[in-house]
């Protein structure tokens, strides 16, 4: 297996946030790679995931307010490539398997 990790911080652009994320993903990761979009709140992670789903991405939210079994399923699905994008709060980094 070959893993390549990279991090980028992209400033928010107000109401154009989802459009900015979609453009970034399609421009920089056209081969359907997986990634994490970090969000500031539970509500924002849910909203961003829903909007990405509406645009054709396999995206799910992840935050500490979720049931532990649901968080575990999201982690496993992402790890195994069934989910390509996780929209998460910092709980994702703190709760990894």
Running DSSP on this structure, what letter comes out for residue 84?
S
Mean pLDDT by 10 residues, the chain (97 residues): 62 74 87 86 94 95 93 92 91 58
Running DSSP on this structure, what letter comes out for residue 97?
-
Q: Helices 17-28 & 42-54, crossing angle to 10 degrees? A: 60
Report d(CA 42, CA 61) in Å as an integer: 8
Give me the pLDDT at residue 48, please: 93
Give me the pLDDT at residue 74, please: 94
Give me the pLDDT at residue 97, please: 44
């Amino acid at each position: 297996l070959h893993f390549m990790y990279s991090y980028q911080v992209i400033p928010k652009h107000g109401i154009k946030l989802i459009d900015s994320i979609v453009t970034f993903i399609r421009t920089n990761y056209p081969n359907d790679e997986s990634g994490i979009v970090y969000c500031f709140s539970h509500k924002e992670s849910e909203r961003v995931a829903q909007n990405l789903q509406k645009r054709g991405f396999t995206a799910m939210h992840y935050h500490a307010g979720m049931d532990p079994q649901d968080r575990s399923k999201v982690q496993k699905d992402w790890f195994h490539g069934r989910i390509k994008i996780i929209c998460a709060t910092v709980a994702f980094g703190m709760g990894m398997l």
